[in-house]
C-alpha cells in the first residue's frame, strides 16, 4: 500500500478523480437532451403547464422588457405578474428557443451549484482546501444535480454563493472591498425574492443582531479578545443587508410594485390554507425532515440522512463520553442539524392557523405568502452537513478517505437514478429505452407532443384564427398559450380576484356537481380551468384522455360575456349544441399523439 500511495498516477487520481464522473454526467445529459431534442420527456407540473408557457408568451408578444401591457391569458394579465426580465434564467429564454433555454437552465443549475459550493468550501477551509477538493466538488455536484423546481433552480443552486459573498464582506479582505458589495447587489440575478430572498434577508438580519449582542457581551467580559476586524465586520454585514435588499428591489421591481403599490385585490385574499391538528403537524414535520418536498427534492433520505444520523449519534456520544457537553452546542454539524429541524418546524407550523393568521395581521402585504418556504434552504443544509461527515472521514486515514469518496458517489447516483417529478433525464432515458425495447411509445407526452406546435399552426391557419379568446378542455391551457392563442383560462398564483369570480360563472355548472372541485377552485383558484362535472380531473398530459363523461358543464353565456369565441377540446362533446357550441373541425397530430376538436361559440 505504501508503494501505491507513492506512485504519481495514484496521487493524481486521489486529487482529481472527480473530474471524470462530473464531466461524464454533463456530457451525457447534454447528449440526451440535445440529441433527442424536443422528443425529450419534461416534467409538466408547475413547469410545462406554467413557466415555460409564460416565457413563450413573453417571447411571442415581445413583452420581456415592456411596461403597461397585458399578456393574453386569464383574460389579460399584467406583464408585471410574470417573471422579471432582470433574471439570468429569464435571459436564457430571451436569447434562445424555449426548449434550448430550458436545457441550458438545467445544465447551468448544476454548474452554479457545484462552483458555488466550491467557493464557499474554499473560503471556509483555507489552505486545507486541496486535501478535501474531491469531496468538495462531488458534494457540490450532487447538490447541483438535485431535481429542484426548474424555474427556480438557479435560486436553489446559488445559496452557497450568497453565503460566500457575505463571508467575504464580513472579513473585509482586500483593498477593492467594494467589489464584493457590487457582486452581492447583483446576486438577485440568480435568486428569487419570494422563494429565497426574503428569508436570506431575514436570516442575515438575525445574524447581525446575534453578532451585535455577542460583541456587546464579549466587550464587557473579554474586550481584548475582540479584534477590530470582527467589530467592523458587523457593520459591513449591516451594509450588506441594505445592498442585498436594494439588489432584490431592482431585479424584481415588478413584483415589489405589485405587492406595495397595486390596489387590485388578488386571489391571495381568498386563498384558504390548510389547518392541521397538532398531531398532524408533528407528522408533517417528521415527513419533511425525512423526505423534503417535491419542489425541493434533494433525495437526501436515501444516503445523506442515514450518513448524517449515524455521524450525529457517534460524534455526540464521543462528546458525552469525554464529558465535553458544551462542545455539543458548538459543533458546526449539530448547528446545521438544528437549522434543518427549525426549517422543518416552520414548515409544519405554517399549517397552524392561529400562527399563520398572526403573521398576516402583523404584516398585511404578506397575506397569502408562504413563510414555510424556509424549507427550501434544507437541501443546501443537508449537503453541507454531508460534507462535514466526509471531511471527518478524510481526516481519519486513507481507507476512510475512499469510503468518503464512495459515499458521495452513491449519493450522486441516488439523485440521478431516482425517478422524481422533475428528473427529466431519467424520464427521457427510461421512456426512450421502453420505446426501443417494446416497439411502442409510452402514454406520456414528450415536450414536442405536449405543445404540438405543428398541429396548432395547422388549426390556426384552418380556422383563420386572429387573436380571439379561447379556452382548453381536457388539456392544459398552457398548450394554447404556448402556441399564441389567447386564453380565458390559465394558471397563475397572482391575478385579480374579480376575474376569478367572473370566470367562476363559466364553470359554475361543473363546480355545483363536484364538491371537491368546487373547494379546489374556491379555496385556491390558481388554476382557472374548465372542469369536468363528473371526473375529478380530465386535464391530460398523456396520449390517452381519461374521461368518463363526454358532456361539458359550462355556462356558454358567461363564456361569451368574457369574450370567449373558441373552445379547444381533446374530447368530442356530445352536448356541444346544448352548450351553444358548433364544431369547426377535428384535427390530429401527424404521429397520432393528440386529437383536438375545435368549437366556436
Give 149-199 pLDDT, tens digit per residue. Answer: 999 999 999 999 999 999 999 998 777 888 999 999 999 999 999 999 999
Q: What cell numbers appear for 530 in the block?
A: 374548465
Q: Give the sign of the dihedral formed by CA 47, CA 249, CA 92, CA 420.
A: negative
> Are 290 and 387 part of one and the same domain?
yes
What per-residue confidence (pLDDT) applies to 324?
85
> Are 592 and 489 part of one and the same domain?
yes
Is 159 part of any domain? no
Strand bridging mode 564-569 / 469-473: parallel
> Are 460 and 596 part of one and the same domain?
yes
pLDDT at residue 6 is higher than 70: no
Q: pLDDT by residue (tens digit) across 283-293?
A: 999 999 999 99
pLDDT above 70 covers a percentage of the chain that reads: 96
> Are 362 and 471 part of one and the same domain?
no
pLDDT at residue 8 is higher than 90: no
pLDDT at residue 369 is higher than 80: no
What per-residue confidence (pLDDT) applies to 361?
77
More confident residue, 585 or 353: 585
Query: What's the CA gap between 568 and 477, in Å, rounded?
Result: 9
Where does 32-110 show beta strands of DSSP type E?
70-71, 77-78
What per-residue confidence (pLDDT) applies to 469?
98
What per-residue confidence (pLDDT) applies to 272?
87
Query: What's the CA gap between 69 and 224, in Å, rounded?
Result: 61
For the residues of 284-298, what is the DSSP string, one character each? HHHHHHHH--TTEE-
> Are 491 and 386 part of one and the same domain?
no
Q: What angle do CA 335, 339, 345 make, to 5 degrees?
A: 140
Compute the average pLDDT of residues 330-349. Answer: 95
Q: What cell numbers appear for 254 in the block?
A: 415588478
Give the confidence band of 398 by pLDDT, cuts at 50, 70, 90.
confident
Is 234 part of any domain? no
Is 185 part of any domain? no
Query: What's the CA gap between 212 and 234, in Å, rounded?
Result: 7
Half-sphere exposure of 565 (CA within 13 A, CB side): 9
> Are 384 and 463 part of one and the same domain?
no
Query: What's the CA gap between 508 and 554, in Å, rounded?
Result: 7
Compute the average pLDDT of residues 387-403. Answer: 95
Q: Give the sign of the dihedral formed by CA 209, CA 214, CA 215, CA 219.
A: positive
> Are 299 and 384 part of one and the same domain?
yes
What per-residue confidence (pLDDT) applies to 275?
86
> Are 587 and 457 part of one and the same domain?
yes
> Are 462 and 540 part of one and the same domain?
yes
Tell me the three state secondary structure of residue 301. Answer: coil
Which of 396, 412, 427 is the endpoint of a domain?
396
Q: How many domains does the chain have?
A: 2
φ and ψ at 389, to 5 degrees?
-65, -45
Give the confidence band of 7 by pLDDT, cuts at 50, 70, 90.
confident
**Residue 462 CB contacts under 8 Å (≥ 6 apart), including other chains:** 585, 587
pLDDT at residue 226 is higher than 80: no
On whether the CB atoms of residues 568 and 530 are closer than 8 A, the answer is no
Is 205 part of any domain? no
> Are 277 and 391 part of one and the same domain?
yes
First to last CA, the chain: 81
> Are 389 and 463 part of one and the same domain?
no
Query: What's the CA gap between 512 and 533, in Å, rounded?
Result: 8
Q: What residues make up the domain containing 369?
A: 265-396
Strand bridging mode 147-148 / 469-473: unpaired
Give the confidence band of 214 by pLDDT, cuts at 50, 70, 90.
confident
Segment (H or E) for 527: strand 527-528
**pTM for this predicted structure:** 0.94
Q: How many CB atoms lie within 10 A of CB 182?
A: 11
Is 507 part of any domain? yes
Query: What's the CA gap between 305 and 45, in Å, rounded?
Result: 27
Q: What cell numbers appear for 372 in the block?
A: 414555510
Query: What's the CA gap between 52 and 57, in Å, rounded?
Result: 9
Is 485 part of any domain? yes
> Are 299 and 382 part of one and the same domain?
yes
Is 150 part of any domain? no
Q: What cell numbers appear for 266 in the block?
A: 388578488
Is 522 part of any domain? yes
Amino acid at each position: 500500500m505504501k508503494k501505491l500511495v507513492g506512485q504519481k498516477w495514484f496521487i493524481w487520481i486521489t486529487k482529481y478523480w472527480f473530474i471524470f464522473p462530473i464531466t461524464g454526467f454533463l456530457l451525457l445529459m447534454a447528449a440526451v437532451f440535445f440529441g433527442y431534442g424536443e422528443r425529450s420527456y419534461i416534467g409538466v407540473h408547475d413547469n410545462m403547464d406554467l413557466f415555460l408557457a409564460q416565457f413563450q408568451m413573453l417571447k411571442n408578444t415581445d413583452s420581456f422588457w415592456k411596461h403597461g401591457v397585458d399578456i393574453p391569458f386569464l383574460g389579460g394579465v399584467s406583464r408585471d405578474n410574470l417573471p422579471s426580465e432582470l433574471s439570468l434564467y429569464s435571459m436564457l429564454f430571451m436569447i434562445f428557443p424555449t426548449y434550448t433555454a430550458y436545457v441550458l437552465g438545467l445544465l447551468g443549475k448544476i454548474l452554479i451549484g457545484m462552483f458555488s459550493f466550491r467557493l464557499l468550501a474554499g473560503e471556509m477551509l483555507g489552505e486545507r482546501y486541496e486535501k478535501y477538493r474531491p469531496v468538495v466538488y462531488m458534494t457540490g455536484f450532487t447538490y447541483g444535480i438535485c431535481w429542484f423546481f426548474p424555474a427556480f433552480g438557479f435560486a436553489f443552486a446559488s445559496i452557497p454563493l450568497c453565503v460566500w459573498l457575505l463571508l467575504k464582506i464580513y472579513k473585509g479582505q482586500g483593498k477593492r472591498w467594494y467589489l464584493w458589495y457590487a457582486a452581492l447587489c447583483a446576486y438577485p440575478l440568480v435568486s428569487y425574492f419570494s422563494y429565497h430572498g426574503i428569508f436570506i434577508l431575514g436570516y442575515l438580519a438575525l445574524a447581525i443582531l446575534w453578532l451585535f449582542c455577542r460583541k456587546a457581551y464579549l466587550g464587557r467580559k473579554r474586550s481584548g479578545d475582540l479584534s477590530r476586524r470582527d467589530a467592523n465586520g458587523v457593520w459591513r454585514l449591516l451594509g450588506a443587508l441594505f445592498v442585498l435588499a436594494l439588489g432584490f428591489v431592482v431585479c424584481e421591481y415588478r413584483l415589489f410594485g405589485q405587492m406595495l403599490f397595486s390596489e387590485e385585490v388578488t386571489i391571495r385574499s381568498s386563498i384558504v390554507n390548510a389547518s392541521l391538528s397538532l398531531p398532524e403537524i408533528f407528522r408533517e414535520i417528521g415527513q419533511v425532515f425525512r423526505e423534503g418536498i417535491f419542489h425541493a427534492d434533494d433525495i437526501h433520505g436515501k444516503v445523506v440522512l442515514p450518513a448524517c444520523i449515524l455521524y450525529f449519534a457517534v460524534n455526540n456520544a464521543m462528546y458525552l463520553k469525554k464529558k465535553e457537553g458544551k462542545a455539543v452546542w458548538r459543533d458546526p454539524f449539530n448547528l446545521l442539524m438544528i437549522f434543518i429541524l427549525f426549517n422543518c418546524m416552520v414548515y409544519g407550523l405554517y399549517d397552524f392557523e392561529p400562527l399563520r393568521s398572526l403573521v398576516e395581521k402583523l404584516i398585511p402585504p404578506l397575506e397569502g405568502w408562504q413563510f414555510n418556504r424556509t424549507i427550501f434552504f434544507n437541501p443546501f443544509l443537508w449537503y453541507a452537513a454531508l460534507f462535514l461527515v466526509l471531511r471527518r472521514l478524510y481526516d481519519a486515514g486513507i481507507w476512510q478517505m475512499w469510503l468518503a469518496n464512495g459515499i458521495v458517489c452513491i449519493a450522486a447516483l441516488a439523485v440521478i437514478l431516482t425517478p422524481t417529478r422533475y428528473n427529466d433525464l431519467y424520464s427521457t432515458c427510461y421512456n426512450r429505452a421502453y420505446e426501443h425495447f417494446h416497439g411502442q411509445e409510452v402514454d406520456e407526452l414528450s415536450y414536442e407532443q405536449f405543445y404540438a406546435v405543428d398541429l396548432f399552426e395547422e388549426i390556426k391557419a384552418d380556422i383563420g384564427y386572429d387573436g380571439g379568446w379561447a379556452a382548453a378542455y381536457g388539456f392544459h391551457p398552457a398548450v394554447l398559450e404556448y402556441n399564441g392563442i389567447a386564453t380565458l383560462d390559465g394558471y397563475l398564483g397572482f391575478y385579480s380576484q374579480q376575474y376569478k369570480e367572473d370566470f367562476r360563472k363559466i364553470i359554475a355548472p361543473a363546480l355545483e356537481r363536484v364538491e371537491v372541485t368546487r373547494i379546489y377552485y374556491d379555496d385556491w383558484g390558481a388554476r382557472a380551468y374548465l372542469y369536468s362535472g363528473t371526473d375529478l380531473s380530465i386535464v391530460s398530459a398523456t396520449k390517452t384522455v381519461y374521461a368518463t363523461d363526454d358532456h361539458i358543464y359550462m355556462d356558454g353565456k358567461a363564456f361569451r360575456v368574457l369574450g370567449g369565441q373558441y373552445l379547444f377540446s381533446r374530447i368530442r362533446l356530445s352536448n356541444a349544441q346544448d352548450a351553444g357550441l358548433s364544431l369547426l373541425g377535428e384535427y390530429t397530430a401527424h404521429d397520432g399523439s393528440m386529437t383536438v376538436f375545435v368549437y366556436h361559440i
